Amino acid sequence: MGQQLALRHVQKRYGPVWAVRDTSLEVQAGEFVSIVGPSGSGKTSLLTMIAGFETPTAGAIVVGDQDVTLLAPHHRNIGMVFQKYALFPHMTVRQNIAFPLKMRRLAKGQDADRRVDAMLDLVQLGALQSRYPHELSGGQQQRVAVARALVFDPPVILMDEPLGALDKKLRESMQFEIKQIQERIGATVIYVTHDQEEALTMSDRVAVMHAGRLEQIGTSVELYTRPETAFIADFVGSINFIPGIVCRIEKSAVTIRCGLSLLETRPTNIRSGELPGEGSSVRIGVRPEHVEIDTRSASGTRSIAQHGHTVERAMGSGLSGTVETIVFAGASRTALVRLHGAPDVVLRASLPAQLGALPERGAEVWLRISADATLLFNAS
């Protein structure tokens, strides 16, 4: 069973360069937390400090009730799954899994065999236990690495880009396998990845690092629907940013001039008392799936293309633009529309692939955005 992990004001500096700045984080026992961020954001530095490969410049790392900040890696009893697995090529699957027990002198004889058998059963590799790493597929090697990290029942397991070497289909399959194993044994997992979709799929919570700081931590839904900064909104999923000027504020509704149009918003990421004042320069954030494409029909109505159906609506206010292209993307199509009056802004609208009567390249269209599907950020 996993234990709680706490980072308390942890910092790491290499000469004049700050890799991690004043980061505090609490991971509950049995929780799966992913750390994501762009290259150089500090996520790997954070992981190496938890593992004990680097010592913090300041702050404390606590596992359960024990401060492990200054302990050597082999005294922390933390499991580690590396990106390239680091399996011993001269050892069989069974010997690789048993190695941590031997080094820690945790179990011998039948007790060790029992633990290894349990891990082989957990990762479904019992039939391959006599093979060597070079005789295994990438996914099988990854399972061996996970079993080796789990066999000594560590309080915390660290995973550093463990699926990075796998192809897309196998990576998606292994995501569910790792999550199922973690839930079955109740392990506490810290998972570092550059793949935002992977983190959102697997994690109980996701921590986003930026420029050495923990920018925000929350559930996948919280990060996607209520990002605290424009960086989070842009990093987690796909989003459109539309520049504009605040024209009017009525309770929680904010009317913004965008190019040649007015757009009413009720931003979900800020409270009414924190809304920008009239005349402020802002950026509206809207996910592609919340952008509807309207095409003007001969009857004077617009045919609204949106997820799952097409409906007719009377004309009303909205953004106007010109379709630049339609990109096929499997289960959906993405329309790129350049806004009138804001030629530097190209919006992405996600539409079902099976939807008919899509506008052609060069078509003049209207875009509808639900006021309740918008986010609002300062222009800077």
| 130: containing domain | 5-233
Q: What is the mean pLDDT of residues 32-50?
A: 94
pLDDT band at 306 (very low <50, low <70, confident <90, very high): very low
Residues 41 and 166 in one domain: yes
Q: Give yes or no for residue 298 having a pLDDT over 80.
A: no
Q: Give yes or no for residue 305 having a pLDDT over 50.
A: no
Specify whether the CB–CB gap between 138 and 166 falls below 8 A. yes
Report how far residue 311's alpha carbon sits from residue 304's, in angstroms, rounded to the nearest whole number.
5
Mean pLDDT score across all residues of the chain:
86
Residues 287 and 217 in one domain: no
Residue 39: both structure tokens together: 């290259």
Beta-bridge partner residues of 329: 332
Nearest by Cα to 32 from 126, 124, 162, 151: 162
Residues 199 and 255 in one domain: no
Q: Which of 233, 250, 274 is the last residue of a domain?
A: 233
Residues 120 and 211 in one domain: yes
Say which CATH number the domain at 122 has. Answer: 3.40.50.300
Count of beta carbons in the 10 Å neighbourhood of residue 364: 13
What residue type is assigned to position 2 of the chain?
G
Residues 151 and 269 in one domain: no
Residues 64-85: pLDDT tens digits?
999 999 999 988 889 988 877 7
Q: Measuring CA to CA, how many Å separate 285 from each of 181, 196, 341?
A: 37, 18, 18
Q: Name the pTM for this structure.
A: 0.83
Q: Give yes or no for residue 316 having a pLDDT over 90.
A: no
Report how far residue 192's alpha carbon sits from residue 207's, in angstroms, rounded to the nearest whole number.
10
Q: Which of 233, 262, 297 is the last residue of a domain?
A: 233
Residues 247 and 366 in one domain: yes
Residues 170 and 117 in one domain: yes
Residues 246 and 294 in one domain: yes
Residues 290 and 253 in one domain: yes
Q: Which of 233, 263, 288 is the last residue of a domain?
A: 233
Q: Give yes or no for residue 207 having a pLDDT over 80.
A: yes
Q: What is the mean pLDDT of residues 303-324?
A: 55
Task: Specify the pLDDT at position 272.
Answer: 64
Residues 323 and 198 in one domain: no
Q: Give yes or no for residue 352 having a pLDDT over 80.
A: no
Q: Measuring CA to CA, how many Å separate 262 from each of 255, 265, 294, 321, 365?
A: 7, 10, 16, 13, 16
Task: Specify the pLDDT at position 107.
Answer: 63
Residues 58 and 188 in one domain: yes
Q: What is the mean pLDDT of residues 241-261?
A: 89
Say which CATH number the domain at 306 has. Answer: 2.40.50.140
Task: Specify the pLDDT at position 356.
Answer: 62
Q: What domain count does the chain have? A: 2
Q: Give yes or no for residue 22 having a pLDDT over 90.
A: yes
Q: What is the mean pLDDT of residues 249-272?
A: 85
Task: Specify the pLDDT at position 221.
Answer: 93
Beta-bridge partner residues of 205: 33
Specify whether the CB–CB gap between 315 and 302 falls below 8 A. yes
Least confident of 10-14, 49-53, 341-345: 341-345
Least confident of 128-137, 143-152, 348-357: 348-357
Residues 95-143: pLDDT tens digits?
999 998 887 766 666 788 898 999 999 888 999 999 999 999 988 998 8
Residues 247 and 272 in one domain: yes
Task: Specify the pLDDT at position 311.
Answer: 36
